[in-house]
């Protein structure tokens, strides 16, 4: 009878200990267990838990020293998509402006060719130089818009990746609303050579809901950053584990509008050159 009571007490103590364990601790513990599995870790588990999997070789022990309070912000995918739509519209308008300037520069070049007097040619030449400067300014604006467009697309791609990994959802991600929760776990990692390095593991999870739905979808915690404490905040993503390197971010679409303007400039040069050839023959 005493043995049964003792066993029950042990079981209750274990259950109590597990129930008292913070969810962040459970996530970190599971990840370190995956890292310890084999020389390169359990890659599948690491990839399922972390956006940018990290593998630390020959870990002797680790100790969680601090878990910060969760920071809460609104679900932001819809806002990111709206920002991209504004940039796309701005780019279209700016491209039309540049193409219009290209046409003006081309026409003015022909006017200079047709001008009879040197005075007229000089006047038009001054006007052409001013127009070309304006053209260059407007072209540079397209480059700046392209840069913002690239950053916006990357932000959307990253956010969608986070949502999919945390929630398991694949479609209609922009239809949801909800909250984003992030916090950091501070861990001292000791390797077999006796060196101890403090790391920071940043966790993220979502709580999502469709309009009109009563049930809320709770995403699991995922690791979005796992870096030495000295590097936290300096890098946007952690170094990937060996053999689980994520695909490099594809470059954004080429600066089409700028390319178009270059084509127009070449056309202009060709037309002027052809005119000179015709006059030379005469």
Contact 258, 143 (CB under 8 A): yes
| pLDDT at residue 112, rounded to an integer | 87
User: On the CB side of 43, how many CA atoms lie within 13 Å of its CA?
Assistant: 9
| pLDDT at residue 111, rounded to an integer | 87
Contact 181, 207 (CB under 8 A): yes
| pLDDT at residue 57, rounded to an integer | 92
Other Cβ atoms less than 10 A from the Cβ of 176: the count is 20
Return d(Cα 38, Cα 245) in angstroms, integer: 18
pTM of the model: 0.71
Place of tokens 């995956």: 34
Return d(Cα 185, Cα 36) in angstroms, integer: 19
Give Cα 224 distance to the centre of its chain: 12
Q: Output the CA torsion 266→270→271→275 (10° steps).
A: 150
- Written as tens digits, the pLDDT of the chain (282 aa) is 555 555 555 444 544 444 457 999 999 999 999 999 988 899 999 999 999 999 999 999 999 999 999 999 999 999 999 999 999 999 999 999 999 999 999 998 888 888 888 888 888 888 889 999 999 999 999 999 999 999 999 999 999 999 999 999 998 999 999 999 999 999 999 999 999 999 999 999 999 999 888 888 999 999 999 999 999 977 554 344 433 333 333 344 444 445 554 555 555 555 545 554 444 444
| pLDDT at residue 271, rounded to an integer | 52
């Amino acid at each position: 009878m005493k043995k049964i009571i003792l066993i029950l007490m042990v079981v209750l103590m274990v259950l109590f200990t597990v129930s008292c364990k913070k969810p962040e601790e459970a996530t970190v513990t599971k990840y370190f267990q995956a890292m310890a599995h084999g020389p390169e870790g359990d890659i599948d588990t690491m990839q399922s838990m972390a956006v940018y999997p990290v593998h630390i070789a020959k870990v002797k022990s680790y100790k969680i020293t601090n878990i910060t309070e969760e920071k809460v912000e609104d679900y932001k995918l819809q806002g990111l998509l709206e920002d991209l739509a504004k940039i796309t519209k701005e780019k279209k308008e700016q491209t039309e402006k540049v193409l219009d300037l290209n046409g003006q520069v081309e026409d003015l070049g022909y006017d200079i060719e047709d001008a009879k007097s040197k005075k007229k040619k000089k006047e038009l030449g001054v006007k052409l130089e001013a127009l070309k400067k304006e053209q260059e300014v407007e072209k540079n604006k397209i480059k700046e818009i392209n840069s913002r467009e690239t950053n916006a697309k990357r932000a959307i791609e990253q956010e969608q990746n986070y949502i999919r990994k945390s929630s398991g959802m694949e479609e209609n991600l922009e239809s949801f609303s909800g909250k984003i929760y992030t916090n950091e776990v501070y861990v001292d990692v000791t390797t077999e050579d006796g060196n101890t390095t403090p790391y920071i593991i940043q966790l993220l999870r979502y709580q999502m809901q469709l309009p009109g739905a009563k049930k809320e979808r709770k995403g699991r915690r995922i690791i979005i950053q796992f870096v030495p404490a000295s590097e936290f905040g300096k890098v946007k993503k952690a170094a990937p584990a060996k053999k689980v390197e994520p695909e490099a971010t594809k470059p954004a679409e080429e600066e089409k509008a700028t390319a178009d303007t270059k084509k127009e400039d070449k056309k202009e040069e060709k037309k002027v050159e052809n005119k000179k050839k015709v006059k030379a023959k005469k």
